[in-house]
Amino acid sequence: MATRRALLGTLAGTLALAARPAGAQMAIPYVPPVSRPKALTLLVGGPAGSGTDLWVRGFAPFLERHLKQVQVTIANRVGGGGLTAMRDLAEARPDGTVLAYAATPFHIVRAVERDAAPLLDRIAFLGAVTEEPVALLATPGTELDQLRIRGGTRPLGLPPPVSAASVAAAELAQLLPMEQLHFPSAAAARQAAASGNVAAALLAISEAAGAVREGKLALLGIAAPARHPQWPETPTLRELGMPVEGALRRGIAAPAGIAPAASAAVIRALRAAVTDPEFLAQAEARGILPVFRDAEAWTALVHHDRAELRHRWETSPWPVSGG
């Protein structure tokens, strides 16, 4: 009898378990699947630790943040005066998994002087996120009239010929007759101006913001259509009778023919990054203007600069620098 009762009890338990709702049979909680972030390679044409590399590494987190579910890996492609990265970009699959840092007029100057202008047709300039106007600087107390009258006694310090400042200097030469002296770097030109070894320097304002704030250099004029919001008391060069404009613009490029969906996602992320509070704080600290220039606007500027620089190269070539 005991055995029979045990068997009946076991059978009853089994039937009761079978009668429970399906959901009640699983005690393991549901865990939604975790999607792995997509890999994105961001090419940069400068060596690790260079100014260009540091800018890209500083911007990459904002690109990750606003693209969402993307992990950005920086890949340094050194060589060709910065064009090796652009060549690798042009040959990459146009699926949005490979992008590159782009700067104008830097990459345009490089392409023109190295007879590689057709390379620009294989690149899509998706959007610029910063604008760094060029400025005329000198030691505090220097007056622009002094440079106009006695500027010939000491030269105007300039960064390398590929810089936005040097491109603007070609126009300024007709309005401010000073010998122009190129230095190996913007930092060297800035130091020469601060020490008085040159009468003044023409630099991207971001390259001299610290020296200006420390009182080592003074802004005489800004080569921009409007005054800089951080230095509203400084007139534009146009206001001073010298209608010269120039700026370094940094952004992101992709292979030409990039898939529309991938292109749209990157452009949305770039637009969002320019309004990101942390990005704005970084830009203000460096004297950089966070300005979004979309693919259409930036590409139009590239075409304009390319034609102008090609003409300059054919009529009055500048010295080629860098490897």
**C-beta separation of 96 from 254 below 8 A:** yes
Q: What is the pLDDT of residue 8?
A: 39
Q: What does the DSSP 8-state code read for residue 79? A: -
pLDDT, tens digit (0-9, with 9 covering 90-100), for 154-179: 999 999 999 999 999 999 998 998 99
Domains of the chain, each with CATH number or no CATH:
38-131+248-315 (3.40.190.150), 133-223 (3.40.190.10)
* Mean of per-residue pLDDT scores for the chain: 90
> Peptide bond before 105: cis, by omega within 30 degrees of 0?
yes
pTM to 2 decimal places = 0.86
Token code pair at residue 262: 């991938």
- What are the phi and psi torsion angles at 137 (to 5°)? -130, 155
Q: Tell me the per-residue pLDDT of 275-318, one tens digit each, with 9 for 90 and over.
A: 999 999 999 999 999 999 999 999 999 999 999 999 999 999 99
Give CA separation, 257 vs 28, 38, 89, 307, in Å: 48, 20, 12, 23
DSSP string, 173-188: TTTS---EEE-SSHHH
Please check the confidence at residue 181 and state whether its pLDDT lies above 90.
yes
Contacts of 318 (CB under 8 A, 6+ apart): 113, 161, 166, 170, 312
Q: What is the pLDDT of residues 88-132, one digit of tens each?
A: 999 999 999 999 999 999 999 999 999 999 999 999 999 999 999
CA 158 – CA 202 distance, rounded (Å): 6
For 125, how many CA atoms within 13 A lie in the half-sphere containing its CB? Answer: 26
Burial class (CB in 10 A: 0-12, 13-18, 19+), 140: exposed
| Number of Cβ within a 10 Å radius of residue 323 | 7
Q: Where are the beta strands (DSSP E) in the chain?
A: 38-44, 70-76, 98-104, 123-138, 156-158, 180-182, 200-204, 218-223, 247-255, 293-294
Q: Is 133 helix (H, G, I), strand (E, B) or coil?
A: strand
- Provide the Cα torsion 39, 45, 48, 53; round to 10°: -80
The pLDDT tens digits for 15-36 are 443 444 444 444 566 555 556 6
Would you say residue 322 has pLDDT above 90? no
Cross-strand partners of 75: 43
